[in-house]
């Protein structure tokens, strides 16, 4: 036990030194720095389309390109929408209706989903006979699947309630790398624009940056006071934005290895469920438990807009790859496209 | 969101709804008319009332949960917190000790309990209890007199009770602390030591990392946002018009992969960073044309081949890598790329056992070569400048004045929603922006 005490003390002292090193590079506050930046002004987005068709709570939505998106709902369906015409391109029935996440491959050939069945199911959209069939079922997690993202048509990364993230080879259905290190359920993940690293947010209140090639955790970011539900990269790939149950979003810079900006407001007391940066990164759209989405000016850390229109919690949000529109999915079973 | 296992730091807030459900069940189980039959337990000559046994298999799992969270405790082997489907005896825990009422179990209370046990059994604490006792002694040393005094007082008061009551109270308290301060096994210690070592290693590496000043980082964000603002349709709108607002898809047509003449914004973006140029199909083609003039096109082809290996099918990797070697790396190859000798040696070594990332170092080298040398020259070249000059700046299309002439778009109507769609039609014709609320701060 004496040894444990010693180890604990050593870990603590290192942590303190790291905090000091981080403080040492904090030479300017955000307020001073962005004093000269132009103000954004009020941002008003209106609902352009409402996608109706799900019969139950929508848990996840992911854009494939500027028009196609896939959404997952606990009525046991995965629907691929042409959101511009509001047509349903595919309605895929799922084996397990307890789905919590979905993803669209960048090539547009596949979609994936998973949830309480602990598996990630991959569906091929461009099958020979036009039917959408299960291509692979990736099973090895011992906890629920909270998020999945394609790297390409052969690799997918999943995060799970068993506190690990895994890189899979879709062709063989095997685990290529296991990223272990979180002390709580991994709730979400985001892939870097250069596909060399990815970030994960977990219920141990930290976010970790992982190197895809060697499976190592490169950086850990703390500071949140509750579970991190949503995570995303800033478009230039140098920062990570997280949203948490403690009602705040934070921006962590990878190069200075610390939290630079916090987005919070004394009037907001409910958790953040999802977030997405706009194309330039100037705006951050975050969905909250109080049925609204707030739009934050990412540099000035001020609220510049609200998207209200849902009758229940906003569970997922996504911005199209070309930055044209954003889609919100809610527990009221509707998806709304805003612009 | 999920039920977490009991942690040393106390029960998570999220467990409350589950606990309330369990408690309601427990209360109804103890109902004298509808609940479980309770019998008297004979402990030598003392008769202790209210014991029951659980043998119904269907209830086994629920029962396990009850035991795990301390609502029922076993009598024979108190340290073994499991429910056995036989005749072994259990007792219901008093509501005073329920998790929902008494958490977080305070250090002071635990110290008093251990002190009591220490005094009563004259130092016969179990290993882990001894450790906890010593640790607590150090931590709350300032109130230790109070702890010992309380312990003595409680022992004295309990001596005045009937023996039956005293045994019950002792069992209840013991069960409570077994649930809230579970024993730590040696394996657990080993695991924790291992975890602590990994954490220390991770922290050491983290400490040694190079940290950039926050002012520089913030500056880079400001610059990035400024640079990309004209390209952000939500911030600044887009030309000719936003398809979502005007139902006119010309924007997408003009920016598709295979258009004859690109838009000015698109060509400008290629100058932001090398990755922007490479990520755009058309940009890559233009760059290739330029490189061909400079007789260094093999660099880009090599880079593309490496990308294909990295993101392609696993089964095809060996043959692809072989192709790359023949075309680009072998001495005397038709499109030999200029890599420094060290990287070349390393790559050739790796080729013996090809895997997805075997060409990474060589690819990086060529990437930086192009980025530092060919890319800046391309941006200054006539080819690029000409394209920029010829690039289109689309005319803004005016919004149609008569809204009811817009083509309506409907999803294939489901019979159930037939009536609702008709209503929506009517609404949409008169205003196209009522379905979302404008922002209110």
**Distance in Å, alpha carbon of B240 to nearest chain A alpha carbon:** 13
Cα–Cα separations (whole angstroms), residue A181 to A168, A201, A208, B196, B294: 18, 12, 9, 12, 49
pLDDT mean over A190-209? 94
Model confidence pLDDT, tens digit, residues A222-251: 999 999 999 999 999 999 999 999 999 999
Higher-confidence residue of B345 and B126: namely: B345
Model confidence pLDDT, tens digit, residues B391-430: 888 887 765 555 554 444 444 444 444 444 444 444 444 4
Q: Is the pLDDT of residue B20 over 50?
A: yes
Residues 109-138 of A with CB under 8 A from B: none
Residue B7: pLDDT band (50, 70, 90) is very low
Q: Do A87 and B411 touch (CB under 8 A)?
A: yes
Q: Which pLDDT belongs to residue A87?
A: 93
Q: Do A27 and B213 touch (CB under 8 A)?
A: yes
Q: Which pLDDT belongs to residue A42?
A: 86
Residue A77: pLDDT band (50, 70, 90) is very high
Q: Which pLDDT belongs to residue B151?
A: 86
Which residues of A fall within a CB distance of 8 Å from B245? 48, 339
Mean pLDDT of chain A: 91
Q: Do A49 and B197 touch (CB under 8 A)?
A: no
Q: Is the pLDDT of residue A73 over 60?
A: yes
Nearest CA in chain A to B360: A213
Q: Is the pLDDT of residue B17 over 70?
A: no
Q: What element of type H or E holds B231?
A: none
Question: Which of B7, B232, B307, B358 to substitute to test the interface with A, most A CBs within 10 Å?
Answer: B232
Residue B327 is classified by DSSP as I
Which residues of A fall within a CB distance of 8 Å from B436? 45-48, 307-309, 336, 338
**Structure tokens that stand for B293 in this block:** 């003039």
Q: Is the pLDDT of residue B15 over 60?
A: no
Across A56-65, B173-182, B263-272, B309-318, least confident range:
B173-182
Residue B18: pLDDT band (50, 70, 90) is low
Q: pTM (2 decimals)? A: 0.73
Tell me if B35 sits within 8 A of B24, measured CB to CB. Answer: no
Higher-confidence residue of B97 and A132: namely: A132
Mean pLDDT of chain B: 76
Judged by a CB distance cut-off of 8 A, whether residue A217 touches chain B is yes
**Distance in Å, alpha carbon of B233 to nearest chain A alpha carbon:** 5
Q: Which pLDDT belongs to residue B52?
A: 58
- Quote the percentage of chain A above a pLDDT of 70: 99
Q: Is the pLDDT of residue A187 over 90?
A: yes
Q: Strand A283-288 vs strand A197-202: parallel, antiparallel, or unpaired?
A: unpaired
Handedness of CA B117, B121, B126, B132 (dihedral sign): positive
pLDDT mean over B44-58? 53
Model confidence pLDDT, tens digit, residues B350-361: 888 888 888 888
Q: Is the pLDDT of residue B316 over 90?
A: no
Model confidence pLDDT, tens digit, residues A305-315: 999 899 999 99
Residue B210 is classified by DSSP as -
Judged by a CB distance cut-off of 8 A, whether residue A255 touches chain B is yes
Q: How many CB atoms lie within 10 A of CB B52?
A: 17
Q: Which pLDDT belongs to residue B35?
A: 58
Q: Is the pLDDT of residue A153 over 70?
A: yes
Q: Which pLDDT belongs to residue B412?
A: 46
Taking alpha carbons only, the member of B94, B97, B100, B135 closest to residue B114 is B135
Q: Do A11 and B235 touch (CB under 8 A)?
A: no
Residue B38: pLDDT band (50, 70, 90) is low
Q: Which pLDDT belongs to residue B53?
A: 58
Cis preceding-peptide flag for B130 (omega within 30 of 0): no
Q: Give the whole-angstrom CA distance, residue B175 versus residue B66.
A: 12
Higher-confidence residue of B90 and B295: namely: B295
**Distance in Å, alpha carbon of B51 to nearest chain A alpha carbon:** 37
């Amino acid at each position: 036990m004496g040894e444990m005490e010693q180890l604990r003390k050593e870990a603590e002292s290192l942590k303190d030194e790291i905090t000091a090193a981080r403080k040492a590079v904090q030479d300017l506050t955000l307020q001073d720095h962005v004093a000269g930046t132009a103000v954004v002004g009020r941002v008003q987005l209106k609902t352009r389309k409402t996608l109706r068709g799900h019969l139950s709570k929508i848990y996840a939505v992911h854009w494939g390109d500027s028009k196609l998106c896939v959404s997952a709902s606990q009525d046991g369906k995965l629907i691929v929408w042409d959101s511009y015409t509001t047509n349903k391109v595919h309605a895929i029935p799922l084996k397990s209706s307890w789905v919590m996440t979905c993803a669209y491959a960048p090539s547009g050939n596949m979609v994936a989903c998973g949830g309480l069945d602990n598996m990630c199911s991959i569906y091929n959209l461009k099958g020979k006979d036009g039917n959408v069939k299960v291509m692979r079922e990736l099973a090895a997690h011992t906890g629920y699947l909270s998020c999945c993202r394609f790297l390409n048509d052969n690799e997918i990364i999943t995060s799970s309630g068993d506190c690990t993230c895994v890189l899979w080879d879709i062709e063989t259905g095997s685990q290529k790398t296991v990223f272990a290190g979180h002390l709580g359920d991994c709730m979400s993940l985001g892939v870097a624009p250069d596909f060399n690293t990815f970030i994960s947010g977990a219920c141990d209140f930290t976010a970790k940056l992982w190197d895809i090639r060697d499976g190592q955790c490169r950086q850990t970011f703390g500071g949140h006071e509750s579970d991190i539900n949503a995570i995303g990269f800033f478009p230039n790939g140098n920062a990570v934005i997280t949203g948490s149950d403690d009602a705040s979003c934070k921006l962590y810079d990878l190069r200075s290895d610390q939290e630079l900006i916090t987005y919070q407001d004394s009037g907001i007391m409910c958790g953040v469920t999802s977030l997405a940066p706009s194309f330039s990164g100037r705006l951050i759209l975050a969905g909250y438990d109080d049925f609204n989405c707030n739009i934050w000016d990412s540099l000035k850390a001020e609220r510049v807009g609200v998207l209200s229109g849902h009758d229940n919690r906003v569970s997922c949000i996504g911005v199209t790859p070309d930055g044209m529109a954003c889609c919100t999915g809610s527990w009221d079973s509707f998806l709304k496209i805003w612009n | 969101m999920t039920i977490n296992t009991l942690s040393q730091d106390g029960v998570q807030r999220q467990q409350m709804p589950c606990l309330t459900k369990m408690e309601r069940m427990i209360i109804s189980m103890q109902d004298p008319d509808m609940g479980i039959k309770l019998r008297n337990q004979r402990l030598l000559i003392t008769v202790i009332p209210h014991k029951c046994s659980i043998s119904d298999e269907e209830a086994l799992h629920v029962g396990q949960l009850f035991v795990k969270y301390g609502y029922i405790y076993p009598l024979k082997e108190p340290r073994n917190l499991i429910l056995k489907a036989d005749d072994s005896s259990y007792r219901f825990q008093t509501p005073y000790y329920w998790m929902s009422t008494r958490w977080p179990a305070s250090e002071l209370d635990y110290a008093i309990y251990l002190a009591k046990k220490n005094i009563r059994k004259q130092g016969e604490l179990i290993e882990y209890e001894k450790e906890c006792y010593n640790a607590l002694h150090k931590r709350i040393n300032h109130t230790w007199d109070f702890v010992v005094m309380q312990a003595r007082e409680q022992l004295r008061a309990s001596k005045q009770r009937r023996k039956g009551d005293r045994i019950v109270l002792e069992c209840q308290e013991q069960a409570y602390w077994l649930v809230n301060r579970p024993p730590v096994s040696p394996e657990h210690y080993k695991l924790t030591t291992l975890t602590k070592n990994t954490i220390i290693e991770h922290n050491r590496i983290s400490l040694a990392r190079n940290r950039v000043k926050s002012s520089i980082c913030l500056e880079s964000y400001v610059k990035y946002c400024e640079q990309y603002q004209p390209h952000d349709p939500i911030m600044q709108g887009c030309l000719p018009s936003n398809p979502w607002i005007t139902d006119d898809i010309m924007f997408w047509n003009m920016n598709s992969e295979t258009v004859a003449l690109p838009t000015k914004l698109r060509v400008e973006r290629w100058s932001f960073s090398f990755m922007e140029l490479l990520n755009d199909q058309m940009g890559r083609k233009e760059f290739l044309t330029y490189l061909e003039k400079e007789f260094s096109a093999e660099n880009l082809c090599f880079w593309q081949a490496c990308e294909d290996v990295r993101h392609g099918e696993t089964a095809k990797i060996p043959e692809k890598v072989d192709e790359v070697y023949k075309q680009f790396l072998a001495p005397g190859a038709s499109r030999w790329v200029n890599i420094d000798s060290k990287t070349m040696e390393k790559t050739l070594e790796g080729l013996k056992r090809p895997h997805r990332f075997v060409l990474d170092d060589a690819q990086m080298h060529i990437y930086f070569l192009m980025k530092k040398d060919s890319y800046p020259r391309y941006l200054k070249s006539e080819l690029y400048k000409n394209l920029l000059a010829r690039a289109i700046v689309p005319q803004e299309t005016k919004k149609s004045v008569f809204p009811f002439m817009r083509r309506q778009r409907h999803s294939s109507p489901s019979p159930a929603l037939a009536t609702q769609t008709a209503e929506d039609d009517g609404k949409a014709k008169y205003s196209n922006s009522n379905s979302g609320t404008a922002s209110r701060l």
